[in-house]
Structure 1
Amino acid sequence: MASRGLLELLSGPVAINALGLAASASVVFGVQRLVPTFDPSWYKSLKKPSWTPPNYVFPLVWIPLKLMQTVALWLVATKAPSAAALGVPLFAMGAHMALGNWWNVVFFGQRKLNESLPWMYTFWASVAATAAAFYPISPLAAYLLLPTQVWVTIAAKLNVDIVALNK
């Protein structure tokens, strides 16, 4: 009797939702792992504006943002009325993640400060596009992306200032 209850729990809606949330987390956090690790000494050597956050702030901010993105993706995946309705939102999320990673490659990996700016602006736009694509399916999912939009706005301003200071 107890094994039947456990089997029902493991194959029921709770398990499916938990697996969906785990899959969403794997996507959101896993994609970032595709970006190679870069030498942090180069970034430390750059001239930066006085308002630059300390280095330890970046992971402290990105981890909760990635958690909110995970929940947003999961909400959209579970609330979409059909598989076809997921096309644009999933494309937008994929573009947002790819552009954020590519900005890291250009800025930190290739050390191309000027060339990083258009990628940062495109990344910023992709976060807004993702929120807009999520909204019709789940307004909450769209709202969960707003803190990412704010942080990417700050990052864009920091990027502009670093470019100006390091001409």
Structure 2
Amino acid sequence: MKFNPIAFAINIAIPLAIGALGAFFTASSVNTWYVSLAKPSFNPPNSIFAPVWTAIFITIGIAAYLVWQKRHTITRFPRTIAIYFIQLMLNVMWSFIFFYAHQIGVAVFESVFLLFVVIVNAITFYKIDKRAGLLFIPYILWVSFATVLTYSIYTLN
């Protein structure tokens, strides 16, 4: 398939924009409310989160581009795209629920649901393009870690 730089840029920009929206919700509490919470010993420093999320959003944007390239061969392309956008919306909702609304318990449940949808998205993408599905592995691992971290913060507070 011929490389389409505009489509590639759009597919990268979409998850990065979602990440920016999540960062907006996070910024309201990361240096105030979040600092006051008890956290587990494995809680990474705040400086780790932005670069990890940026790398993940770029990676899933690349995966989306690989799937987009095959859009004409996918019988259920609208469903595939819907799954992708649902997991992106769930991602930003976690930031809103946890950091903006300060609802840690709700964020635990939302994180579990997010992880489930991310796995469904990875499997869906894998069936279309193995590389696209495999590019979701860091995302699955990070959301798994974030789910455990969220639960730990919930139990400590």
TM-score, normalised to structure 1, is 0.85
Q: Answer yes or no: is the 8 Å Cα contact 2:74–2:128 preserved in 1.
A: no
Superposed counterparts of 1:44-83, under 5 Å: 44-82=35-73
Q: AA paired with 2:142?
A: W
User: Structure 1's 20 and 144: CA in aligned 2 closer, same or farther, altered over 3 A?
Assistant: same
1:27 aligns with 2:14: yes
Aligned counterpart in structure 1 of residue 109 of structure 2, from 104, 109, 118: 118
RMSD, aligned CA = 1.4
User: Structure 1's 31 and 69: CA in aligned 2 closer, same or farther, altered over 3 A?
Assistant: same
Q: Answer yes or no: is the 8 Å Cα contact 2:34–2:99 preserved in 1.
A: yes
Distance across 2 between alignment mates of 1:82 and 1:112: 42
Greater RCO, CA 8 A, separation 6+? 2
What is the aligned-residue identity percentage?
26
Q: What's the CA shift string for 1:51-99, capped at 9, x where partnerless?
A: 1111101112111111110100000000234364322221111011000
Distance across 1 between alignment mates of 2:52 and 2:37: 21
TM-score, normalised to structure 2, is 0.91
Offset at 1:160?
0.6
Q: Which runs of 5+ in 1 are unaligned?
A: 1-12
Q: Which runs of 5+ in 2 are unaligned?
A: none
User: What count of residue pairs does the alignment treat as equivalent?
Assistant: 152
Q: Answer yes or no: is the 8 Å Cα contact 2:11–2:62 preserved in 1.
A: yes
Question: Larger radius of gyration, structure 1 or 2?
Answer: 1
Q: Answer yes or no: is the 8 Å Cα contact 1:88–1:133 preserved in 2.
A: no
Deviant stretches of 4+, over 4 Å: none
Q: What's the CA shift string for 1:88-120, capped at 9, x where partnerless?
A: 221111011000111111110100111111101
Q: What's the CA shift string for 1:142-162, capped at 9, x where partnerless?
A: 000011000000000000100
